[in-house]
A and B are shown apart, each in its own frame.
Chain A
Amino acid sequence: MQLASDFRHAYSIASGPALAAVLTPIATASNPQRLRSFYEFSNAQYLTKDLQSTLFHGKSIRVSKSEQAAWVDIFAAYWEAVGEVLKYEERYPGASAVDIFIAWKKVSNALIKGYAGSNGLKAWTLPCLYTVGKFLRTFAIKADLEVAARGSTGYGFQDDLAVDVEKNANLEEAARIINRMFTLCLSDRAPIEESRKWGIYETTNLLFKTYFKINSVGLTKNLLRAINAQSHELPSLDAFPKSHIVTFEYYLGVIHFLDEQYIKAEEHLTTAWQMCHRDAHKNRELILTYLIPCHMVTTHTLPSRQLLAPFPRLEQLFRPLSNCIRRGDLVGFDQAMAAGEAEFVKRRIYLPLERGRDIALRNLFRNVFIAGGYEEPKDGQPAIRRTRIPVSEFAAALRIGTHATNRMGVDIDEVECLLANLIYKGLMKGYIARERGMVVLSKNNTAFPGTGV
């Protein structure tokens, strides 16, 4: 039987990924009958016996008695789950995604149990945990969708609130089981070379994804607290495989981003960006979706054409806004925000992007400063820019930036308010001399900090 020989091969070379591939509940292109042939090799009555003899027959691999028992339990549960998957794929009457999820929970529990005690499964088998956890999550999502579809057709009189609470019931249950996988890794006391602590970030990633999906981002804080409490016993981040770290840093970045902690968010997202595999297009696009607004808030700079070129969707998302910010076009900015609103809100980037309006305004007022030219040079001194500028010039600029018609004047009080705001936010340096209707800007190329003038 193919599955059993794959299992023995994975065990003989102690390859976690190869072993995890054996536990994957899908057929492969090279072996489309993979699940079917495994399911048909036995029946419920002789399953345990058959598994015991096929998985461990001969002397080709040496596996302790307790490990053997664990694998027999795991594959017995797997066999049942495969049965449900096959029924579902063949649209067998009564087959359901919920049943697959229930069966896969048993696989997960058997695997978790397998790690218990000092004679449990070894740390090199951890990829099995990732694979089983990943499919637990996938099957739970499918089960929830099925329940929702059933609810919407059958029971028309259900309370809306109850439906809302229960719409993720299976995924929430999956989260609790994955949480046990997380604890299993974090609490392992074995020496680090053979510790399950190596699985900590990958199980965390799985939980991050799950909590994001059930809209409980707040729960991620508990995981981070637990990891931090153990940090002195964990290997440094760069000792882990890059796939674990890139995913972890991405989610950490997004978590800080949603807390409006853009500086921290940017650090994590930058790490994720730099370590991310060059060919992982979708993931690179996701990282940039959050990194670009962060960068805008923290440094007031915009993505270059070169950065956006490989990502037409991001180009579409950010280019109109960037152009308006650069030109100081406030009306255009508002229009671009309105046009992109649905997409910005869905991606949860509306809030930081909105701050771009201050940068657009800064650029508009900076143009006034540039247009003001230079003072008469005195005694061969280098020319200095005119730093005393009438408020009325800023008002005129605002009329340009807001495309004001002749009839709609710009209120001077409003201009002063906007100026005061920019000064308060550090985007502009100087003060308003109200009695003279003048803005007195800082000299020595510090009037608009960071912009060279």
Chain B
Amino acid sequence: MSNSNQAQTNAEVAEQPQQQSKPQVLEEDDEFEDFPVEDWPQEEAEQNAGSAANGGNEHLWEESWDDDDAAEDFSKQLREELKKVEGSN
């Protein structure tokens, strides 16, 4: 009996801070944070000077169409779909 009571209070205690802090967490979420230091050398930046300009950036993006391996599959699918249409005509 006392056990279940305790468990209940524990659950309540655990729930409360969550409810209280939730809206604040959401707000903080979106905010650009202050940097711990004011300045840093380019070597510590995301893209260091060596790979500047566009060169170093290429691997970050990829083309938006499928590679040609998948083209085979699609070609088959397309032929089947066209047959269906012809069949129904």
Contacts and interface: CB of A to CB of B under 8 A. Distances in A.
A276 B32 contact: no
Contacts of A299: 61
A207 to B, nearest CB: 13
Interface in B53-84: 57, 59-66, 68, 70-71, 74-75, 77-79, 81-82, 84
A283 B52 CA distance: 20
Given A362-B65, A396-B85, 13 more contacts: A247-B32, A274-B46, A277-B46, A302-B64, A303-B60, A306-B60, A307-B59, A328-B65, A363-B65, A371-B71, A371-B79, A397-B78, A406-B84
A327 B62 contact: no
A370 B75 contact: yes
A277 B61 contact: no
A304 B35 contact: no
Interface stretch (A107-115, A183-191, A228-236, A238-246): A238-246
Given A277-B40, A282-B33, A327 B70 contact: yes
Contact of A241 (B24, B31, B39, B77): B39
B65 A451 contact: yes
A205 to B, nearest CB: 8
Nearest to B79: A371
Nearest to A451: B65
Kindly state the interface size class of chain B when it binds its partner.
Answer: 35 or more
Given A282-B33, A302-B64, A396-B81, A406 B88 contact: yes
A304 B45 contact: no
A273 B33 contact: no
Contact of A359 (B24, B64, B70, B85): B64
A209 B31 contact: yes
B82 A242 contact: no
A276 B78 CA distance: 47
A284 interface: yes
A243 B59 contact: no
Contact of B66 (A141, A251, A327, A392): A327
B47 interface: yes
Given A250-B32, A282-B33, A396-B78, A307 B60 contact: yes
B15 interface: no
12 contacts: A127-B38, A242-B40, A243-B38, A277-B37, A277-B44, A278-B44, A302-B64, A306-B60, A326-B65, A368-B78, A396-B82, A397-B81
Nearest to A251: B32
B35 to A, nearest CB: 4
Contacts of A362: 65
B32 A286 contact: yes
Sorted nearest first, the 6 A-B pairs with minimum C-beta distance are A241-B39, A371-B75, A243-B35, A396-B81, A274-B47, A301-B61
Interface residues of A, number: 60
Interface of B: 24, 27, 30-35, 37-40, 42, 44-47, 52, 57, 59-66, 68, 70-71, 74-75, 77-79, 81-82, 84-85, 88
A13 to B, nearest CB: 16
Contacts of B68: 370
Given A209-B32, A400-B81, A273 B37 contact: no
A447 B47 CA distance: 35
A197 interface: no
A17 B34 CA distance: 14
B66 A328 contact: yes
A245 to B, nearest CB: 9
A214 to B, nearest CB: 12
B66 A274 contact: no
A38 B24 CA distance: 30
Contacts of A399: 81
A196 interface: no
Contacts of A296: 64
Interface string A319-336: 000100111100000000
A50 interface: no
Contacts of A244: 38
B1 to A, nearest CB: 34
Contacts of A295: 61
A283 B32 contact: yes
Contacts of A303: 60-62
